[in-house]
Structure 1
């Protein structure tokens, strides 16, 4: 039986939460395509797989993802970042995490994140999130056990 975690689940889960509740588009950091108009959120997977034990064969592992709010002003970016942090702790988000086998372990401190552009600065604030994830199993079409016959001695 093979195991594999589909990281697209993370992107879809978080992008739906931010779009539904804040009306913000989430993009992959350094992804292909045109950057949307501010404000928007950039998403990046910093540490894809942190083993839960030293054997590295556990189906449960942790991952660190990064969220950065891009805005037209420094204060707007900071406010959006704080709204995102609160939203991730909400009951609706927790329910969506549960449905997708995601556990929120830690939300790290908000930090300014600046990148100098050609003529001006992009105003950004962001934070990292530590998640506990679970591998999904892929059945190799071996069939299912429908009954077990016991022999008595």
Structure 2
């Protein structure tokens, strides 16, 4: 049996894409480590597996949802980056790049505020959720019957 889908391929594409259109960093949400200077974007894979069919088969396609959230000092700046993100992933250029990686962009939720209260002040957040269709590398090791003698 081979491995299942490698989410690193999708995440690496997202990291490159966010940097390409914004010049800013995309990091994993709720992670330990250095936090970049504002503004920056964080991702969370909120739905890693949404089945399209009821069969689990070799090369199964399924969907996953990734939430991208911009962390900014200004609410308006966060909304601007969220809107830019939403539109960027709908462009023909991105569709073409995703197609080369055998990933399909299904759609995006509308952008919205996601502010976070930090002890004495707010961290201004806004983002959107992106839905992708990917292909699993799972392969069922089925015993083939070549001949039956009666």
TM-score in terms of structure 1 length: 0.84
Gaps of 5+ in 2: 140-150
- 1:46-69 Cα offsets, whole Å, 9 max, x none, are 010111112243610011110111
- 1:112-137 Cα offsets, whole Å, 9 max, x none, are 11211122111011111111111236
Gaps of 5+ in 1: 139-153
C-alpha deviation, 1:3, in angstroms: 4.3
Aligned length: 139
Match of 1:18 in 2: 18
Match of 1:131 in 2: 132
Please give the root-mean-square deviation of Cα atoms over the aligned residues, in Å: 1.8
Match of 1:2 in 2: 2
C-alpha deviation, 1:91, in angstroms: 2.1
Aligned counterparts of 2:12 and 2:32: Cα–Cα separation in 1 = 17
Ranges of 4+ aligned residues in structure 1 off by more than 4 Å: none
Aligned counterparts of 1:102 and 1:31: Cα–Cα separation in 2 = 26
C-alpha deviation, 1:29, in angstroms: 0.6
TM-score in terms of structure 2 length: 0.85
